Amino acid sequence: MTEVLSVSGLSVFYGTSAQAVENVSFAVGDGQVVTLLGANGAGKTSIMKAIAGLIPSRGEILFGGEPISALPARERVKRGIIYVPEGREIVANMSVRENLVLGGYHLAARDRRTRTEMVLDLFPEIANKADRAAWRLSGGEQQMLAIGRGLMAAPKLLLLDEPSLGLAPMLVRRVFDRLAAIRRESDLAIVLVEQNLAMSMRICDELHFLRGGRIIGHRTAADLKDNAARQEAIDAYLGAASAA
Ligand SMILES: Nc1ncnc2c1ncn2[C@@H]1O[C@H](COP(=O)(O)OP(=O)(O)OP(=O)(O)O)[C@@H](O)[C@H]1O
């Protein structure tokens, strides 16, 4: 398996003293889904932002074998690193289709049309509402639009920050089913940030557990196939609050 992303000794500081991420290392292979799990404040978003180039960091980040730490965020986007932030930052008063077009702004017009159709095929819920203003979508549909907009950019690596946040369990399942389909149909690599172990288990290959800015444990999806092993990992790394 080819390594798409390799993070070694990553540290993130806010200001001069507050350290949000401490010496974090992990890798993501071609077509692999790797989940970062941890409670609020564990450092998950900071890691994603550091990979996307949105905040400064120390350590080494390799993408496709090349160091990217010195590259600005827009150059990382051009190379295929797309960050879908938590909170679905879609443009509320633009239509679904316009939001998608925005995600593929750097593509040639023909590719943009093809990809728009591909994304709408993947998310029939929003395809029916393509000309509707984004603010009129439900929470789950807005999340689908945010992911769809990320896919418009033809990513090689999708950084997906808490796609389940604030969604009803049924909608979370729908969003994750679509992610599973994307995973089956393409060799897109994904780093997924989640607090929900059960949901991330639906699609991921490997999990890293974070606490206080550090990776405190690692499991493969195969390690966590049975309920007892999952419960053991929850007890060891996440605590009862994350068992849902
Ligand atoms: N802009 C900022 N300035 C200062 N401290 C910050 C900033 N952003 C995050 N932090 C701190 O860094 C630590 C890690 O935050 P981060 O958002 O990366 O965690 P997280 O695991 O993504 O949490 P959540 O699940 O709540 O989104 C926290 O202690 C947080 O308070």
| Domains of the chain, first to last | 3-80+155-242 (3.40.50.300), 88-154 (no CATH)
Taking Cα atoms as reference points, which of 194, 190, 170 lies closest to residue 181? Answer: 190
Closest ligand 1 atom to Cα of 36: 21
Q: Is the ipTM of this complex over 0.90?
A: yes
Mutate to test the pocket of ligand 1, among 10, 13, 14 (most ligand atoms within 8 A of CB): 14
Q: Report in angstroms the alpha-carbon separations of 39 from 24, 120, 125.
A: 16, 33, 31
Ligand 1 lined by 99 (C-beta under 6 Å): no
Mean pLDDT (whole number) for 124-135 = 91
pLDDT digits over 3-29, tens only? 999 999 999 999 877 899 999 999 999
Tell me the HSE value of 163 on the side-chain side, using a 13 A CA sphere.
33
Q: Answer whether 20 contacts ligand 1 (Cβ < 6 A).
A: yes
Report how far residue 26's alpha carbon sits from residue 5's, in angstroms, rounded to the nearest whole number. 8
**Which residue puts its alpha carbon closest to atom 12 of ligand 1?**
20
- By the 8 A CB rule, do 160 and 147 touch? yes
Give pTM, 2 decimals: 0.91
Higher pLDDT: 154 or 82? It is 82
- CA-closest residue to ligand 1 atom 10: 20
Q: Are 28 and 5 in contact (CB under 8 A)?
A: yes
Contact 134, 99 (CB under 8 A): yes
